[in-house]
Structures are given as C-alpha cells and as structure tokens.
Amino acid sequence: MSGLGSEIIGRKIIHLPEVDSTNEYAKLIALDEREGTVVVADRQTAGKGRKGRTWASPEGGLWMSVILKPKAEPKHLPTLVFIGALAVVDTLWKFGIEAGIKWPNDVWVNGRKICGVLTEGRIREFVILGIGLNVNNEVPEELRKIATSMREFLGREVSLSEAFHTLIRNLDHWYGLFLDRRYGEIISALKERSIVLGKEVKIIDDETELVGRAVDIDVDGALILETPKGRVRVLHGDVSLRFL
Ligand code: BTX
C-alpha cells in the first residue's frame, strides 16, 4: 500500500432506486460485505440525521453509505466522521464551490448546509459512514434558509455520476490516511477547512449549553472552547453547534 490511497472505497457499489435509508440498508448487509462496499440510492424515504432527525433526500441528491471495517482502536473511530466531511469539501472544491467544515459533521457553503455526515456502527465489527450531499435536488421549502445545493451555488446542474466518483476517490484518499494512522494530518486538514475556528459559538448537548470562542481542534477531534470559566474540551459525539 502506498499510503496515498487505499483503493478500498467503492470496489463494490450497490445502487438502489429507492430505500428507506442507505445507512439502515448498509447496517443490514454489513457483516456479509467486504469493507468499502457503497450503498447509494436515488432517493430515501426515511433519510436520517442524528438523534432521530430527518434528512430530506429527494431525487437529484447524493445519498450514500460506505461500509468500513477499520482495524483501529475504538478511540479513533469518531475521526471517521471527519473523513466524510473532508472528502466532501475536496469534492466541492473540485467543482469550484467554496466549502468548509462546520464541526463536527456538516459541510457548509455560503452560511448554509450542503451536506451532513452520519456515522453509526458496532464496535469491532463495522462502521457505516453515511453522507448526504445536495447536488441537483430541490431543497425543501422549510429548509431554504438553512440549506443549499451544488446546483443552487453553480446556477447549473452537475453530473451526479461525476460528483459521486469524485467523492469516492476523495473518500479513498482520506480513508487511506486513516488506515495509515496519519490522524495528525487528518486533523490538520480539518482545521484548515474549518469554518468554526475563531468564532463565537454555542454548543448544545442534551441538557447543557455552553457558549465560548472556538479556538482549536485537538488530536482527538475535540473542539477547544475558550469560555469565561476557562478552556473547555468538547468531544464531538452527538453535540450540536450554533454560531452566535
Ligand atoms: P443532523 O442531525 O446534523 O442534521 C439534520 C438536520 O439538517 C435536520 O433537522 C434539518 O434541519 C437539516 N436538513 C435535513 N435535510 C437536509 C438536507 N437535505 N440538506 C440540508 N439540511 C438538511 C446530519 O444530521 C447527517 C445527515 C446524514 C444523511 C445521510 S444521507 C445517506 C445516509 N443515510 C441516511 O439515512 N442518513 C445518511
């Protein structure tokens, strides 16, 4: 292995016209598949976000899940969410779209969300890396203020297959680095592409809210906040981040 690319992601592609959720489908078949298998659907009828939120997935977007079986220590597995976000940002750059990562799991363009990443899994068995990217699809009316698409940014339709193949190549590149344990390079890239650092933000966990300035992302991918009470380290788990 050269370390520049693993050539794992996308060695098998399962294309479905419609499914409830590519993540759910991938979880069902994960134990029987080799890692790198991608499930991609034209539309999802029950696309999922985090914590039971829904993900609008009409035709024209890229809705996909990758089955991964990394031999990594469990503490590194949360880093896989960044692999998804990095690969999406690189894909958007290739199309001339200025995009950045809104820690922990979104990609934003012009202050609006264009992509969400959802990782799920079973420790020591598999991780499902789910990616939803608005390409040519309509963004539902109620999300217009917070969401955008590649088509909206460029003012023209994009080849969905080109977007898909570019994303697969980029995922393969970043996953190769992950397998080579080059976590430092992954975090550096995340910091470079972050739209959060230097900003005043509010972190919302189940019961708690925390306000501060985002000053750094550490080796484990945790966000470092400067608050009136000192520095606080926020692990990415299931927290939400809002700009103030
Ligand atoms: P999240 O919980 O961070 O974000 C969900 C929130 O994003 C929703 O509550 C809504 O406000 C907003 N939203 C919903 N749909 C869209 C959209 N199409 N574009 C922009 N904003 C939207 C983020 O969760 C993780 C989403 C992962 C989606 C992929 S698609 C393939 C795979 N299968 C699956 O069921 N989920 C993943």
Q: Is the CB of 149 under 6 A from ligand 1?
A: no
Hey, which of 55, 81, 133, 136 would you mutate to test ligand 1's pocket, going by the most ligand atoms within 8 Å of its Cβ?
55
Does the interface predicted TM-score (ipTM) exceed 0.95?
yes
Pick the CATH number of 200-243 from 2.30.30.100, 1.10.3720.10, 2.10.109.10, 2.60.40.420: 2.30.30.100
Distance 33 CA to ligand 1 centre (A): 25
- Give the per-residue pLDDT at 96: 98
Q: Tell which atom from ligand 1 comes closest to the C-alpha of 47.
A: 35
- Count of CB atoms within 10 A of residue 240's CB? 15
Domain parsing of the chain, residue ranges:
13-192, 200-243
Q: Tell which atom from ligand 1 comes closest to the C-alpha of 41.
A: 31
CATH domain 13-192 topology: BirA Bifunctional Protein; domain 2 (3.30.930)
Distance 129 CA to ligand 1 centre (A): 13
Give the pLDDT confidence of 148-192 residue by residue, as tens digits: 999 999 999 999 999 999 999 999 999 999 999 999 999 999 999
Q: Tell which atom from ligand 1 comes closest to the C-alpha of 149.
A: 19
Give the pLDDT confidence of 14-38 residue by residue, as tens digits: 999 999 999 999 999 999 999 999 9
